[in-house]
Amino acid sequence: MEKFEPYIAGRQVDLADAAETPLVNPASCEVWGVSLVSTRAASQAIDAAVEAMESEAWRGLPLQERANAMRRLAQLAEAHAAEFTRLESLVTGKLAKATLGEGAHVAETLNYFAGQADALSGRLVELAPTTEGKVIHEPVGVVVGITPFNGSLSLGIWKVAPALAMGNAIVLKPPSAAPGSSILLAKLAAEAGFPPGVLSVVPGEAEVAELLVDDPRVALVSFTGSTGVARKVGARVTGRLGRFVCETGGKSPQIVFADADLDRAADGVSQGIFSNAGQSCIAGSRLLVEESVAEEFLRKLDERVARVRTGEMSDPESTMGPLASERQYARVTGYLERALGEGAELRAQGEVPAGPGYFVTPTVLIDRARSTTAWRTELSLIHISEPTRRS
């Protein structure tokens, strides 16, 4: 049984209030680990970040040395690519072959922003014939990064790398059910030579997030997740005059016109929704097809749905894995039932393996009125299709 604890480099973490979250393999429903969640640890992480921002070890680190530390972390990420792949696949349901590039993605992002740190410099601006102004770049301070279950590593590094490059300290909060890859990243950062408190990880849910975003010592919160939660988090942060940036959900349409290569379009539409079992903010979960080719195109899509092989993440024959959790499974199947009750037509369904696991059959629905809740709501896996006239 693996155990994942909040990580604050250089500190003994206070876990007196820790609660356990079981980590469940979404393909087998077996518990393989436990995640410890602690609000005390979250408060400690901010304390450590504030101290790091005030320390000469981080504040006084030359830009070149900061960039070199990022490059060392990039090398370590590549060396631990297999472990990143394992951890991401176990908590998200992503196919192992789809997560093989996670370590390389982390390294590429770190190396890119290390280059930005190298190039960081001030400049003089002429304000008047006898007056010049100097523009300098300073870190904003303590940053909090909040990541979702379906990409805590890939989305987390987009928050961590620029924060480190600009000299900030960052506290990363992945979901309690997806802590492993973020904690591994923080441990590798310590190994790469980053001072204590510069990068900490505190897994958790609402209670931990609220403590982090409400703390007046946090200068900026970067959030990735649902639009509804983003509004709430943004209101809390900006209400205390903090800075807030966010990336929220989507309901992305895929559009097919009559002059398209229908075979290639069907391949793209299938990949666009069934990749990662649709658990992506850029999943193409709505489909608009020009009426004159709608039936021909949908027949081609039916064929591709039938070829989707849903299975265990490490199985090389699998082309779609399970949903990440029981909660996701209940949500998706609930919306499917609701859509059928609201008048959607079932066009096509694939198959799922017998036995345990949070597997949902790949599904195509027709919603001619474009009025069902599933049509309007960001939702993994459910593919809503609608023949459309071209004006």
Q: Which residues have a catalytic role annotated?
A: 247, 281
Q: Residue 112 region, left (φ>0) first, then alpha (ψ -120 to 50), else beta? A: alpha
Contacts 24+ apart (CB under 8 A), 77-81: 77/103, 77/106, 77/107, 77/110, 77/185, 77/188, 78/103, 78/104, 78/106, 78/107, 79/103, 80/184, 80/188
Beta strands in the chain (DSSP E): 2-4, 7-8, 19-24, 31-37, 123-128, 131-135, 142-146, 169-173, 199-201, 218-224, 243-247, 253-256, 286-290, 345-349, 363-366, 382-388
Cα–Cα dist 44/64, whole Å:
29
3-state SS, one letter per residue, for 25-68: CCCCCCEEEEEEECHHHHHHHHHHHHHHHHCHHHHCCCHHHHHH
Q: How far apart are CA 30 and CA 200, in angstroms?
A: 29
Tell me the CA distances in angstroms from 116 to 67, 156, 270, 339, one per residue in order.
Answer: 8, 18, 37, 47
Residue showing tokens 């480099």? 9
Residue 259: alpha-carbon gap to chain centroid: 35
DSSP character string of 70-89: HHHHHHHHHHTHHHHHHHHH
Scan for tokens 């506290």, then name that residue.
171
**CA 232 remoteness from chain centre:** 19
* 113-118-121 Cα angle (round to 5): 115
